[in-house]
Structure 1
Amino acid sequence: MAIGILVFVEYSLCIQVFTMPSFTSALICFIDIHSS
């Protein structure tokens, strides 16, 4: 499904964000995934 692919892409981006010292950005990304 297209939504599954979109979530996978967003999840991959979140992994990259989590590797950086920006917890706020990671949290926003995490909420964005679960609100879709």
Structure 2
Amino acid sequence: MKDIKNRIVDRVRDNLMRNRVLQKMNKLTLTVSEVA
């Protein structure tokens, strides 16, 4: 039971980190397109 919970927490954390990186990249592309 504990192993399953840890696995779910790890997956959620990975997804959050990935989403944060994607948001940063989207902001970068937005600013670049605005400047261009």
The alignment's TM-score, normalised by the length of structure 1, stands at 0.53
The runs of at least 4 aligned residues of structure 1 exceeding 4 Å deviation read none
Partner residue of 1:2 out of 11, 14, 20: 14
Runs of 5+ unmatched residues, structure 1: 23-36
Runs of 5+ unmatched residues, structure 2: 1-12
Query: Rg bigger for which structure?
Result: 2
State the percentage of identical aligned residues. 9
Highest RCO, 1 vs 2 (Cα 8 Å, sep ≥ 6) = 1
The alignment's TM-score, normalised by the length of structure 2, stands at 0.53
Amino acid aligned to 1:5: M
RMSD, matched Cα: 1.5
**SS of match in other structure, 2:25:** helix
